[in-house]
Structures are given as C-alpha cells and as structure tokens.
Structure 1
Amino acid sequence: MDFHKELDTRGLNCPLPILKAKKALADMHSGEILKVVATDPGSMRDFQAFARQTGNELVEQSAANDEFVHFLRRR
C-alpha cells in the first residue's frame, strides 16, 4: 500500500505508539496515509479504538513476524 509517512514504534508499548501516531497525523494533510510499524500485540486493538475515537480511517492492519503494521488515513 502507498503511504505518505512511516512511523517506527518497534519496542514501544501502549500508549506510546498511539501518541506518536496522533502527533504524526497532526502534521499531515487530510487524506494522506500514515504507516505505523509496532511490536506491541495490543496495538491491533488500540489502533482500532483510536480510529473510532478520532475519525481517522484505519485502512488496513496486518501482523507477521511479531510485527504489527497499521495504515491510517488522516481525516
């Protein structure tokens, strides 16, 4: 998937991946896509809740090799 910015949150636990994503999204334009790579298994659930609460669209999530990748579209 094409994205405009990538955020590496490997090794960080909740809530840091969410907080860093929120800050990154604030610097992006509407419609742009942020890719977040995390190692916290709870990030799958956390990013779903974050998208619901903020109105940003969770476009895709995947998990492989103990890494969790999230794509968020800026509202």
Structure 2
Amino acid sequence: MSETTLDVQGLRCPLPVLKANKALRAMAPGARLTVLSSDPASVADFQAFCRETGHALVSFSEAAGAYRFTLRKREDAPAP
C-alpha cells in the first residue's frame, strides 16, 4: 500500500484541505496520505472533507500545536 506525507504546516484554511485533495487525486484508490498541519481549523476541515468525499480519516493526533491526519483514498475513486 502506498503512503505519502504532505507537510502543509504554516498554511491556513482552506489551503491544507485543498492541497490534500490535490494530492489524493494523484494517488491510487486505497493509498494513504499523512497530512501535517499547524492550523487548528484543519481538525474540523478534514473531518468535513472526509465526510463529504468518502475518503477515510484513519487517524488524527495533536501534539504541541502540530496536527497529524492520516487519510485513505476511497476504494471506488478513479485511479490517476
């Protein structure tokens, strides 16, 4: 299974989600994307993004103002 890391620390809403969406489009179905963010609004943004798009929010963690999201591209999404 493919796994990619996207560092969007320092970017504010809506850029972390927009950049993650662009990265997911280039990935194969079922691939994982780990996103590193510093924007507190990204917590709600990524929850809503996954709910709306069908991608899975596999894990989420926060430590000292750094947010880490692991997303899995939905299986039925078209391959790049």
Alpha-carbon distance in structure 2 between the residues aligned to 1:74 and 1:13: 23
Q: C-alpha displacement at 1:3, in angstroms?
A: 6.2
Aligned residues: 74
Identity of aligned residues (%): 49
- Structure 2, unmatched stretches of 5+, are 75-80
Give the greater-gyration-radius structure (CA). Answer: 2
Task: String of CA shifts for 1:43-68, please: whole Å, max 9, x gaps.
Answer: 11110000000000000000002100
- Structure 1, unmatched stretches of 5+, are none
Alpha-carbon distance in structure 2 between the residues aligned to 1:40 and 1:3: 26
Q: TM-score, normalised on structure 1?
A: 0.95
| Structure 2 equivalent of residue 61 of structure 1 | 60
Secondary structure at the counterpart of residue 49 of structure 1: helix
| Structure 1 equivalent of residue 7 of structure 2 | 8
Alpha-carbon distance in structure 2 between the residues aligned to 1:70 and 1:61: 5
Where does structure 1 differ by over 2 angstroms across 4 or more consecutive aligned residues?
none
| Structure 2 equivalent of residue 21 of structure 1 | 20
Alpha-carbon distance in structure 1 between the residues aligned to 2:26 and 2:3: 11
Alpha-carbon distance in structure 1 between the residues aligned to 2:57 and 2:26: 17
Q: TM-score, normalised on structure 2?
A: 0.89
Secondary structure at the counterpart of residue 70 of structure 1: strand
Report the RMSD for the aligned CA atoms in angstroms.
1.3
